[in-house]
A and B are shown apart, each in its own frame.
Chain A
């Protein structure tokens, strides 16, 4: 039975619970035990979790959950979401042991919809990173190959879903932090339109970019979770009412769909090295899309190659301001034996922040400082305008845009930690959509065998396909992703042991 439960998608589990073939409590216990085992395994596990529910904190009234849309299927939540009286540390020493007095709106909504909190997941500190190696709680390992990273920053959420340690999970995406780990772990990750999900209770990184979204085994699960997250929230002035309800995707064909392939994000001539196995899987998927009825159109996004530069001005600038709140006064770490207030601030921040967070605070402070503001921050904001215009022009010709999600497959632990820019390039294909505030989904589209012997039985490592659409096109995006997913028949079960 346990293998059978493990092989159920969240949607299938909901069906089984509603048909009374499976108890919500039984499902919760099944995943709680799997998550606890990983959390207790120390060096032997994947290190996906920073907290796991015990029996007493488990699904309150699992019987009641059956009547709700998500039927009691438990949820893993990225550490940076505030969860009342449950540690919420954003992967940082400066928030070690922090117990918030309230719960983030997105988590609250999903709990009310019948997805109770199962665990908190590991992440790069304050969501700054693409490998989950920048966590104060140690790196998370990729279940496809434990010598490799799961991507980041939502690496704990992605690895937990891929390994079957959680049925589904919540992550956040600022420049690719849902899509890139989904790609590296062979699962589905969706970054919704900016503003469609409340940011209330998310520990902020870059407020004009941060957006919560689902990490799931398949596209249907992503639609189910998203449908219960979206909507205006009085606690977040930038949140918007989603103009329609999120439907369960059903498309099997792509007839009439015009799929744009941006020349600048195909890998030719760009300053990012795209791995041959990634390119092969991507090109194969484009052929498949055509066979399903889609029309491929080569398009141009002339400013996309500058997106990463603009992003590394804007995101650190916003971060340097957001992270000013960590000062040792109201919560979290405080350096001992301070001589005065300023000494307490500066040493608390020295002791509490890791190297990447310090780097970004410094970069953002520099970009905003007197004399440099126009050259960096103001210019980057103008590049952002051009990138959004590029997408608007493109969507006059095409319905959706396809790119690889990441230039490579999961890389080795420690492989990119010495060179910040090499790490940043992981988000080359995902950052343009973030700056434009548009939705994008990553689905697994095959395995790459570029790295000999990597992956289960040497079968290879997952490659992700990114599909992006105009603001609030989530239903279309999910439908197209669903049709491709069916045709691709990607088998993620090899990562679930």
Chain B
């Protein structure tokens, strides 16, 4: 069972603000989904290797060849705020 404090802790980790009305339903819905998920705990999984990906990848390498990248003005075109040559953001410390 996920409680209010846990919801707020996870929301902080996820960089997600929740409105007051969202907190209780979130706790309830996450708890309900986790109850279903908990069934995998009944399986005996010792000595089973984890699968993170179905495609076997071992360090995909390619020659380091210089190639053109997006022009700066194209990369900045969709930014909510631009300052000089870069993305403009609020100060990390108000």
Q: Which residue in chain B gives the minimum CB-CB distance to A328? A: B80
Which residues of chain A are near B18, meaning CB under 8 Å? 350, 358
Number of interface residues, chain A, beta carbon within 8 A: 68
Query: Which of chain B's residues 56-94 have a Cβ closer than 8 Å to chain A?
Result: 57, 60, 62, 70, 74-75, 77-81, 87, 89-94
Which residues of chain B are near A333, meaning CB under 8 Å? 80
Judge if A362 is at the interface, Cβ distance under 8 Å: yes
B8 to chain A, nearest CB (A): 11
Q: Are A381 and B41 in contact (CB under 8 A)?
A: no
From B33, B48, B50, B79, give the contact of A330 (CB < 8 A). Answer: B79
Query: Which of chain A's residues 342-398 have a Cβ closer than 8 Å to chain B?
Result: 342-347, 349-350, 353, 355, 358-359, 361-363, 365-366, 369, 375-376, 378-386, 388
| Per-residue interface assignment for chain A, residues 181 to 203, with 1 indicating a CB less than 8 Å from any chain B CB and 0 otherwise | 00000000000001100000000
Q: Are B87 and A329 in contact (CB under 8 A)?
A: yes
Q: Are B80 and A388 in contact (CB under 8 A)?
A: no
Judge if A99 is at the interface, Cβ distance under 8 Å: yes
Beyond A366-B30, A382-B49, is A339–B90 a contact (Cβ under 8 Å)? yes
Q: Which residue in chain A gives the minimum CB-CB distance to B91? A: A340
Which residues of chain B are near A362, meaning CB under 8 Å? 7, 10-11, 14, 16, 26, 30
Q: Which residue in chain A gives the minimum CB-CB distance to B60? A: A237
Q: Are A101 and B53 in contact (CB under 8 A)?
A: no
Q: Are B17 and A346 in contact (CB under 8 A)?
A: yes
Judge if B37 is at the interface, Cβ distance under 8 Å: yes
Q: Are A349 and B55 in contact (CB under 8 A)?
A: no
Which residues of chain B are near A310, meaning CB under 8 Å? 40
| Per-residue interface assignment for chain A, residues 400 to 436, with 1 indicating a CB less than 8 Å from any chain B CB and 0 otherwise | 0000000000000000000011001000000000001
Q: Are A327 and B54 in contact (CB under 8 A)?
A: no
Which residues of chain A are near B1, meaning CB under 8 Å? none
Q: Are A381 and B50 in contact (CB under 8 A)?
A: yes
Judge if A30 is at the interface, Cβ distance under 8 Å: no
Judge if A496 is at the interface, Cβ distance under 8 Å: no
Which residues of chain B are near A386, meaning CB under 8 Å? 43, 45, 48
Q: Are B15 and A383 in contact (CB under 8 A)?
A: no
Q: Which residue in chain B gives the minimum CB-CB distance to A438? A: B54
Q: Most B CB atoms within 10 A — which of A308, A330, A366, A383?
A: A366
Judge if B3 is at the interface, Cβ distance under 8 Å: no
Report Cα–Cα, A317/B48, bound state, in Å. 20
| Per-residue interface assignment for chain A, residues 294 to 306, with 1 indicating a CB less than 8 Å from any chain B CB and 0 otherwise | 0000000001001
| Per-residue interface assignment for chain B, residues 8 to 31, with 1 indicating a CB less than 8 Å from any chain A CB and 0 otherwise | 001101111111001000100110
Beyond A306-B40, A358-B26, A421-B33, is A346–B15 a contact (Cβ under 8 Å)? yes
Beyond A98-B78, A383-B40, is A345–B48 a contact (Cβ under 8 Å)? no
Q: Are B62 and A347 in contact (CB under 8 A)?
A: no
Top 6 nearest A-B pairs by Cβ distance?
Answer: A437-B54, A381-B50, A334-B80, A340-B94, A346-B17, A331-B78
Binding site for B on A (CB under 8 A): 98-99, 101-102, 194-195, 208, 234, 237-238, 240, 303, 306, 308-310, 312-313, 320, 324, 327-334, 338-347, 349-350, 353, 355, 358-359, 361-363, 365-366, 369, 375-376, 378-386, 388, 420-421, 424, 436-437, 471
A-B contact pairs, 24 of them (CB 8 A): A99-B78, A101-B70, A102-B70, A237-B60, A238-B53, A309-B40, A328-B80, A329-B80, A329-B89, A339-B94, A340-B92, A341-B92, A358-B22, A359-B30, A362-B10, A366-B10, A375-B41, A379-B40, A379-B41, A383-B40, A385-B50, A388-B54, A420-B29, A437-B54
